[in-house]
Amino acid sequence: MMQAGRDSVVTAPNAAFAQSDATALPFPDASFDLATCRLAAHHFTDPAAAFRDVRRVLRPGGRFVLVDNYAPDDPALDAFINELEKLRDASHVRNHTITAWRELLEAAGLRTSVESDLMTTKITTEGWLERSQTPRDRAAEVRRRLREAPAAARDAFKITDTTFAVPKVVILARRLA
């Protein structure tokens, strides 16, 4: 097992893994054919800057695969899931809508493909709260909000007494030049 420290790089054949600030990747310009970001971008305080840096490290024609949670287009459902996430995990910044994720990528100079993959992840509420070590009072508020969720939220997030579902998207993008 290899571990990377802050701002360090670990390499393996045909791959490099780094732990660093997402807006200042420790790699030379145009050094990769492929970059991925899985379930992290919703924690970025400046995803636009992070995606610009991804573009910087991709070679022309290089691909970027973003996998992340997304918020529904409905403003009330968007607010519901983002407030719930922030209560559970203080490092959460924002689940963007699919349109907003695409706009951030396009603004960074990455061309998104028309095709993307949508999925949902079923979450057990208690395990979700434990994994993030949610403080007791905040966990109680999360449980209350799930229990008292409006009908639209119950439907959109498939809320039950013990589980709910979070929508995820896979967006493929390419650096053109």
For residue range 28-81, what is the model confidence (pLDDT) as tens digits?
Answer: 999 999 999 999 999 999 999 999 999 999 999 999 999 999 999 999 999 999
Confidence bin at 10 (pLDDT 50/70/90): confident
- For residue 130, the 8-state DSSP code is H
Domains observed in the chain: 8-175 (3.40.50.150)
- 125: Cα separation from own chain's centroid: 19
Place of tokens 């960074």: 108
| CB-neighbour burial class of residue 60 (10 A; exposed 0-12, middle 13-18, buried 19+) | exposed
35 closest CA partner among 56, 49, 21:
56
Q: What is the pLDDT of residues 127-166, one digit of tens each?
A: 999 999 999 999 999 999 999 999 999 999 999 999 999 9
CA angle 92, 167, 78 (to 5 degrees): 60
Write out the two tokens for 8. 């360090």
